[in-house]
Amino acid sequence: MIKKCEAVARAPLAVRPDTIELPALGESWRIDYLPTNTRRVGVMMEQPGRLTVYGAVADHGACLAVLKRWLKRRTREELVPWLAMLAGQGGFTFNEVLVRGQKTRWASCSSKGTISLSYKLLFLERHLVRYVLLHELCHTVCMNHSPRFWTLLSRYEPECRAIRRRMRGDWRRVPVWVEDTGN
């Protein structure tokens, strides 16, 4: 498990974003809001880098909810296969992967081998995401943070201790609209 180390104290702000930067994927998205005569709100990937949120877009809360569902989808499309690839390379096995919007963790691994990934990982730099994925895979072998765990993890990421220290302030990279408006 990787804990959030800083309490986030920001005022709730239901403002729709105009762009979404996803360093984990090297992607930058521009968002257009298209009012249409329907009660629901949906999102379309028109072309690479362009998202259209359509429907009852005056409801900012509904727009944010649909964008968070899209972030979960991108996590399932991109980070889950990456986790599976790293597992294959390292000879790790896990049971299943859940994608969630945890408030206090980037990821976790249960004793049953279920790995939970936060879609907020999308806002981290790619090498940090790789570290988090390897960290959880090592928990499938060793559940605690004992010296044995760190020895194992350092075989896959020699800089693991330094990366862990550097990541302490990285919740600031999660945009306010993602962090403060529920999961």
Residues that bind Zn ion (CB under 5 A): 1
**With contact defined as beta carbons under 8 Å apart, do 80 and 74 qualify?**
no
- For the CB of residue 135, give the shortest distance to Zn ion in the complex, in Å: 5
DSSP three-state, residue 46: strand
Q: Calculate helix-pair angle for 126-139, 80-90, nearest 10 degrees.
A: 60
- Is the backbone of residue 53 left (phi > 0), alpha (psi -120 to 50) or beta? beta
Instruction: In angstroms, give the least distance from the CB of 144 to Zn ion.
Output: 8
Q: Is 53 exposed, middle or buried (0-12, 13-18, 19+ CB in 10 A)?
A: buried
Q: Which lies closer to Zn ion via its Cβ, residue 64 or residue 137?
A: 137
Q: At its nearest, how many Å lie between Zn ion and the CB of residue 165? A: 14
Output 74 or 139, the one with its CB closest to Zn ion. 139
Bridge partners, residue 53, by sequence: 33, 43
Mapping DSSP to helix (H, G, I), strand (E, B) and coil, where does residue 42 land? strand
Residue nearest to Zn ion (CB): 1
As measured in angstroms, the least distance from the Cβ of 3 to Zn ion is 8
Looking at the Cβ atoms of 1 and 141, the one nearer to Zn ion is: 1
Nearer to Zn ion, 67 or 115 (CB): 115
